[in-house]
Amino acid sequence: MAATEMAVGRRAWRGRSRDRGQVALEYLGFLPLLLLVALAAVQLGLIAYAAQQAGTAARTGARSASLREDYAADCANAVSSWLDAGCTPAYLGDEVKVTSTVTIPSVIPGIDFGTASKTAVMPVDH
């Protein structure tokens, strides 16, 4: 190998050594965006889960209210223990309409996502 080829080879290798750590810095710069996307995905999942749990609570509360049982306790027990749920019945002659409200938990501090509400209607058992 000629001396000039060796010198060129050494310079090329030295140039690559200056780039060491660049990928790690680029990853650190991109990491906050990845975390934000992950938090948004988790929050959307929590919103959907709270809405599903509100529907379950409304159906359970309506079933209990139609049988003249303790609808409030049954409504609260129908959802996961870490969710806050409440039911409000409305007797409409031969039917009872129960509206359930579940507070949507937030994984992002300082942002309130409100509540999810669902309604269920059942015939009253006489």
Answer yes or no: is 72 within a domain.
yes
Instruction: Tell me how many domains the chain contains.
Output: 1
Residue 56 to residue 49: CA distance in whole angstroms: 11
Q: How do the pLDDT tens digits run along the chain, 126 residues long?
A: 666 665 555 555 555 566 677 777 777 788 899 999 999 999 999 999 999 999 999 999 999 999 999 999 999 999 999 999 999 999 998 999 999 999 999 998 889 999 999 999 999 987
**Which of 109, 12, 122 has its CA nearest to residue 65?**
122
Answer yes or no: is 43 within a domain.
yes
In 3-state terms, what secondary structure has residue 46?
helix
Answer yes or no: is 110 within a domain.
yes
Answer yes or no: is 39 within a domain.
yes
Q: How much of the chain is in helix, strand and coil states, percent to nearest 5? A: 55, 20, 25
Answer yes or no: is 73 within a domain.
yes
Contact (Cβ atoms closer than 8 angstroms) between residue 92 and residue 124:
no
Answer yes or no: is 4 within a domain.
no
Answer yes or no: is 5 within a domain.
no
Residue showing tokens 């806050």: 84
Range of the domain at 89: 21-123
What pLDDT score was predicted for residue 55?
Answer: 96
Centre a 10 Å sphere on the Cβ of residue 34 and count the other Cβ atoms it contains: 10
DSSP state of 20: T
Answer yes or no: is 63 within a domain.
yes
- φ, ψ for residue 2, nearest 5 deg: -75, 160
